Amino acid sequence: MQRVTITIDDDLLQTVDALAARRGYSTRSETIRELIRRAASEDVLSNIRKPCVAVLDYVYDHHTRALAQRITSTFHERRGLAVSSLHVHLDRGSCLEVAVLAGPVVAVRDLADAITAQRGVRHGNLHVVPEILNRHS
């Protein structure tokens, strides 16, 4: 870690302190580091060819005809992107699945859309982490 000195006007510094208070960061340094990470993340994600890792989670209706089979087939067709998955039987009819994906941002998003757009899939959510951030932290 390196120490750097930055010059910042009063209004902007108040904004940093307000963000720190609201989000629970303990220091200005941690607040500014997190803001930079977010900006870098948005920058990488705007380039759809860049590699990423991602977590896809969704709930689906176990009783919807052939849905589980269609979901499995979708993952098999794009198996190069699927790293691992977790299945939880939530109740009699609902299953929760969490899949870890890795590959180009565009391909990962396409796969997530192909899963979450299926009838009977609910609460689909994709969290994309730029791979570059993992390598350098």
Residue nearest to Ni ion (CB): 95
* Segment interacting with Ni ion, rule: CB under 5 A, options 8-16, 24-32, 47-55, 92-100: 92-100
Only segment of 52-60, 75-83, 84-92, 121-129 that touches Ni ion (CB under 5 A):
84-92
Interface with Ni ion includes 127 (CB under 5 A)?
no
Question: Distance between CA atoms of 45 and 91, rounded to whole angstroms?
Answer: 36
Stretch that binds Ni ion, among 39-47, 53-61, 90-98, 104-112 (CB under 5 A): 90-98
**Helix-helix angle 28-45:10-23, to 10 degrees:** 90
DSSP string, 111-133: HHHHHHTSTTEEEEEEEEEEHHH
> Which of 136, 119, 11, 10 is CA-nearest to residue 68?
119
Q: Is 95 a binder of Ni ion (CB under 5 A)?
A: yes
Q: Which residues bind Ni ion (CB under 5 A)?
A: 89, 95
